[in-house]
A and B are shown apart, each in its own frame.
Chain A
Amino acid sequence: MKIGAIAGITFKEAKRDRILYLLFFFAAVGILASRVLAVLTVGDRVKIIKDVGLASISIFGVLMAILIGTGLVYKEIDKKTIFTLLAKPLHRAEFILGKFCGLVLTLFVMTAAMTVIFLAIVYAHTLKIEGGLLAAVAYIFLELILVTAVAILFSSFSTPILSSLFALAFYLIGHLSWGLELIIKKMSPGPGRALVRALYAILPDLENFNFKTEAVHGLPIPAGIYLSSALYGLCYTAFILVLAVLIFRRRDFI
């Protein structure tokens, strides 16, 4: 109930943020522009539309999560609205989870709106809705949930600009950390390899949520991979949220 109330007010606040609509506009332009790109490109036009459309949903979704998420907690502290909230019988964990759920709800609405535009364009070309595309979007959304948790984690102790940089770094590292797996395979056993393996275990691997190529090319994906990726996302999100709560619980609001 309390988490719901905080989530509701967060959703209302995020809805008022102009950045959200600006990013949505660019995402929509990106998805629509895929139609033009397809005309200009040699090859399978539908594949280009799918590829650019999914990339637009992913990139603009991440920007929404980072740019809005990093300001959420900070704004409450900066505008001192937090004094009124935390003076109520509200656990600090409930506050963080409420903020998280509110932004996830906002991103769900935005992702759904972008997906409708995207699927409409694909449908206009193929006259069918492909399940693989929906699955790819679902995993993009799962990635957005994790990035939201990270943005809120940084927002709980840092300024929006620094938090945005940290969250962006997390996103980039997350998409490049798969390279460590290759290094591990090529390294001979020893302390060095153990260190790299430990680093790989700690760093996020956001490629786990990337099913864009399979969706575009219609490649089959075993159910186990879907399941393990979802489980990975949920566990990592839970870990980040626990970290955010632990940091937030120790804070003094002067």
Chain B
Amino acid sequence: MAEAIRIEDLRKTFRIGFIPKTRPILKGITFSVREGEIFGYLGPNGAGKTTTIKCLLDLIHPDAGTIAIFGRPAASPRAREVLGFLPENPYFYDYLSAREFLAFTADLFGLGRAEKEERIARLLKLVGLARAADLPLRKYSRGMLQRAGLAQALINEPKLVVLDEPLGGMDPLGRKEIRDIIVRFRDEGKTVLFTSHILQDIEMICDRVAIIVGGRIVKEGGLRDLVSEKVLFTEVTVSGLPPQAFAGFGEGVTSRGDRVFLKVYDEARVDEIVGLVRDRKGRLVALSPRTETLEDIFVDTVTRT
């Protein structure tokens, strides 16, 4: 599969203060994003995610390293013709309406009038802003601004969409809608690079991820390769029996009302618990095996680094 983005040995050091102190942010980042995939870029605050994205967009000049977008140097404006970008906290001209703002961004791509109007109407509908299209952006909620930001990122029908925290500030319904839109991008053959602190979202929709910590990529790969399907423990919920009945079966025996909650690490003991509940005429309410999640990997990676 061809590479949509290729970043090699990217380095950036900022000089801060009146008597400049050097602060290395990126210490040799290398990764690639394949065409047609959804790539999650994770890292704790200050790890260098946004700096990497800004280097990709030529907003920050790297000290060393190369970045190519579909084989073209990222610093070339032509490379950005096929790219759509949504910044972390979208800041727009708040006196413009979403329709006017989209018309302005369309002009930056030199779209003709008919094409521009057709795309604006389609995008406003796609992001659910058709009814608020003529309101000034200053009257928008954060979630609505995020949607307007997504619409402007798509005005040029990009092959590559870069989204910096696209789900921040959205309510659960809005998050689901944006997730669905991102998945639709992949179905249409677009490539998506996005950062998010909401790891469940990344786990739900990403094909591959890279984890950056302290300016270095510490893990990169397919989500299925990173997250094993091994059961870590099983959560068992039982009713009709006292907590003492389960002493020695598992860690974290707690009770609320007539329900008892257990965390069983030994899979073999789960069958014993089921047998015990049946024998003593209790009721098995829930039995949920908990497999490894991206969050486990993320927390483990960040704490070990």
Binding site for B on A (CB under 8 A): 1-2, 4-5, 8-9, 12-13, 16, 79-91, 250, 252-254
Known: A87-B87, A252-B59. 8 other contacts (CB 8 A): A1-B107, A9-B96, A86-B57, A87-B80, A89-B109, A90-B77, A91-B77, A250-B61
Given known A1-B107, A2-B108, contact A84–B90 (CB-CB < 8 A)? yes
Docked complex Cα distance between A88 and B59 (Å): 11
- Asked whether A90 lies within 8 Å of B108 as measured between CB atoms, the reply is yes
Closest to A16 in B: B95
Of A9, A83, A253, which is within 8 A of B104 by CB? A9
- Asked whether A253 lies within 8 Å of B59 as measured between CB atoms, the reply is yes
Given known A9-B93, A84-B92, contact A89–B107 (CB-CB < 8 A)? no
- Asked whether B105 lies within 8 Å of A88 as measured between CB atoms, the reply is yes
Q: How far is the CB of A6 from chain B (nearest CB, A)?
A: 8
Of A4, A12, A250, which is within 8 A of B107 by CB? A4
Docked complex Cα distance between A2 and B104 (Å): 9
Instruction: Report 18 cross-chain contacts, Cβ distance below 8 Å, ordered by A residue.
Output: A4-B107, A8-B104, A9-B96, A81-B93, A84-B90, A87-B83, A87-B85, A88-B80, A88-B156, A89-B79, A89-B80, A89-B81, A89-B109, A90-B77, A252-B54, A252-B61, A253-B60, A254-B54
- Asked whether B81 lies within 8 Å of A254 as measured between CB atoms, the reply is no
Docked complex Cα distance between A218 and B165 (Å): 66
- Asked whether B108 lies within 8 Å of A79 as measured between CB atoms, the reply is no
Chain A residues with CB under 8 A of B77: 89-91
Docked complex Cα distance between A125 and B96 (Å): 44
Closest to A1 in B: B110
- Asked whether B78 lies within 8 Å of A89 as measured between CB atoms, the reply is yes
- Asked whether A86 lies within 8 Å of B152 as measured between CB atoms, the reply is no
Docked complex Cα distance between A12 and B104 (Å): 12
- Asked whether A252 lies within 8 Å of B60 as measured between CB atoms, the reply is yes
Docked complex Cα distance between A80 and B85 (Å): 14
B55-107 interface (Cβ within 8 A of A): 57-61, 77-81, 83, 85, 87, 89-93, 95-96, 104-105, 107
Chain B residues with CB under 8 A of A13: 93, 95
Closest to A81 in B: B91
Docked complex Cα distance between A185 and B77 (Å): 51
Of A2, A84, A252, which is within 8 A of B85 by CB? A84
Closest to B84 in A: A87
Given known A79-B91, A81-B91, A91-B77, contact A86–B59 (CB-CB < 8 A)? yes
- Asked whether B81 lies within 8 Å of A87 as measured between CB atoms, the reply is no
Chain B residues with CB under 8 A of A1: 107, 110
Chain A residues with CB under 8 A of B87: 80, 83-84, 87
- Asked whether B61 lies within 8 Å of A2 as measured between CB atoms, the reply is no
Closest to B87 in A: A83
Chain B residues with CB under 8 A of A86: 57-59
Docked complex Cα distance between A81 and B156 (Å): 18
Q: How far is the CB of B213 from chain A (nearest CB, A)?
A: 20
Closest to A250 in B: B61
Q: How far is the CB of B284 from chain A (nearest CB, A)?
A: 54
Docked complex Cα distance between A85 and B108 (Å): 8
Docked complex Cα distance between A47 and B258 (Å): 100
Q: How far is the CB of B115 from chain A (nearest CB, A)?
A: 14
Chain A residues with CB under 8 A of B89: 80
Docked complex Cα distance between A253 and B95 (Å): 23
Sort A-B residue pairs by CB-CB distance and give the 5 closest, nearest first: A5-B107, A87-B85, A89-B77, A80-B91, A253-B59
Docked complex Cα distance between A250 and B58 (Å): 11
B31-70 interface (Cβ within 8 A of A): 54, 57-61
